[in-house]
Amino acid sequence: MMKFVSRGDTTVVDAYLSPILRRYVEQVASEMPGVKLFFMQSSGGLTDAHVFQGKDAILSSPAGGIVGMARTAAIAGIEKVIGFDMGGTSTDVSHYAGEFEREFETQVAGVRMRALMMSIHTVAAGGGSILKFDGERFRVGPQSAGANPGPASYRRGGPLAVTDANLMVGKIQPHYFPQVFGHQADEPLDAEAVQTQFNELAAQTGRSAEVVAEGFIDIAVQQMANAIKKISVARGYDVTRYTLQCFGGAGGQHACLVADALGMTRVFVHPLAGVLSAYGMGLADQNVIREQAVELKLSDAALPEITDKLKGLAATAEAELQRQQVSTGAITTHHRVHVRYEGSDSALVVPFGSLDQIEAGFEAAYRQRYSFLMQGKGLVVEAVSVEAVVAGDAPAEPRHATHEPREVPRRETVRMYSGGQWHDAALVVREDLQPGDIISGPAIIAEKTRPPWSSPAGRPL
């Protein structure tokens, strides 16, 4: 039997999370006296610590990644991006084409909640996803080795994971990884343990260890590519016209393979890709979003009532933002209507305007999503929403002049298994590169993934 979760169930979720979150917020605030404290919400905006609620925190970290993705892509002059955020446990994918996509009803961990969140699709494929062979087929995840014990290469007795497969095929070079493993957190990745366990799997399958490792990687890549198709191709977007923006701790190890699987030709990797969710939180706007159910048939006669409801919501949102804001920036207010066909339950969010503008916006969005229109069907305004925004800080990122192509310096040549054979691959460190450099593959690009305010010392990641 299908179970639908009502507003009451959302309240239960919030009641469970908020007390825990409140204790955490108070602990952080106590250690930062006199500091105005803001937290990231699942909707992609910052809010005052004192009004931060549990239901608003569920997808706050991935939401920070989407904000970081959008802001850094705009600086690079990229308008359409597919977000590929791969961490240790899962991969979050998202779509951005000039405006954040949000959902008012979201299912998280099997619970359907009515709380505003960024539109994010998650699959259980991360660097820590456990690799299994059940005697008949390979499996990747959904179980994860986590951070402790972590993958087999972490020197804590963990199982084989996706990270180990990349180590096995040479895409991860241990001496270009930090030495933070083992029980004392001072050892490099354990390549010998990985080799031993893959040799055992190879003996069971009749294949070589590197073929087994690449097979697991192919499965993980296909899972991630399928997730991207759900938020792009399945919704009418031509993914080949987008740039794949890769971030998260494990994203760089798979970005090229994922792009190839989708027919994408460009991958964008920001220098802070490994910590882009945290960076995005620093770039996020302060916002307050208010929503109200309406259930009015869309017509000229209904527009005055819809306008009044939007004005009331706008006044409430702006007053709340003024109460909590520390920025002196001007407040911008966005008015939106949630429109659906009569007899359907799929509402699409479009900007508020005249009757013709609302109808045209809805039809364009519906045709994009479903590839057809329901001619003769009336339209219903299910709800209205208002977003009051104070713009966040614009990142001051350096712009570099493009140089003439040159022979790219390599630190060394390493062995890498890809496409069913071993290759001699150039290992290039990103800080050695200049804009305009062209690297002939196969190659591995390593970088430190460190914030610009940190010490320049440290090994590349």
pLDDT 10s digits, 378-422 = 999 998 999 988 887 766 777 777 788 888 888 899 999 999 899
Q: How far is CA 96 from CA 80, 210, 232, 271, in A?
A: 6, 36, 10, 20
Q: Are the CB atoms for 324 and 51 separated by under 8 Å? A: yes
Residues 6+ away with beta carbon under 8 Å from 407: none
* Residue ranges in 232-288 assigned as alpha helix (H): 255-262, 276-283
The rounded distance, in Å, linking the Cα atoms of 248 and 261 is: 19
My answer on whether omega of the bond before 405 falls inside 30° of 0, hence cis, is no
Chunked mean pLDDT (size 10), the chain, 461 residues: 44 75 85 84 84 79 89 90 90 89 68 74 88 88 87 92 94 89 89 94 91 94 93 88 92 92 93 88 87 90 93 91 71 91 87 93 88 87 90 73 81 92 92 87 82 38 33
State pTM to two decimals: 0.83
Domain boundaries, the chain: 289-390
The rounded distance, in Å, linking the Cα atoms of 327 and 281 is: 15
Helix, strand or coil, per DSSP, at residue 83: strand
Q: Across 229-304, where does the E strand assignment appear?
A: 243-247, 267-268, 286-297
Encoding tokens for residue 332? 């911008």
Encoding tokens for residue 357? 């503008």
User: How many Cα atoms sit within 13 Å of 192 on the Cβ side?
Assistant: 2
- The DSSP H or E segment spanning 19 is helix 7-30
Model pLDDT, residue 8? 45
Handedness of CA 313, 316, 318, 321 (dihedral sign): negative
Smallest CA-to-CA distance from 383 within 105, 189, 125 is with 105
In this predicted model, what pLDDT tens digit does every residue of 422-447 receive, in sequence order? 999 999 998 888 888 888 889 999 88
The rounded distance, in Å, linking the Cα atoms of 269 and 96 is: 16
Encoding tokens for residue 396? 């001051």
Encoding tokens for residue 408? 């790219």
Model pLDDT, residue 436? 84
Neighbour-count burial for 196-221, b at 16+ CB within 10 Å, e otherwise: ebbeebbeeeeeebbebbbbbbebbb
Residues 6+ away with beta carbon under 8 Å from 237: 95, 97, 368
Hey, how many other C-beta atoms are within 10 angstroms of the C-beta on 39?
20
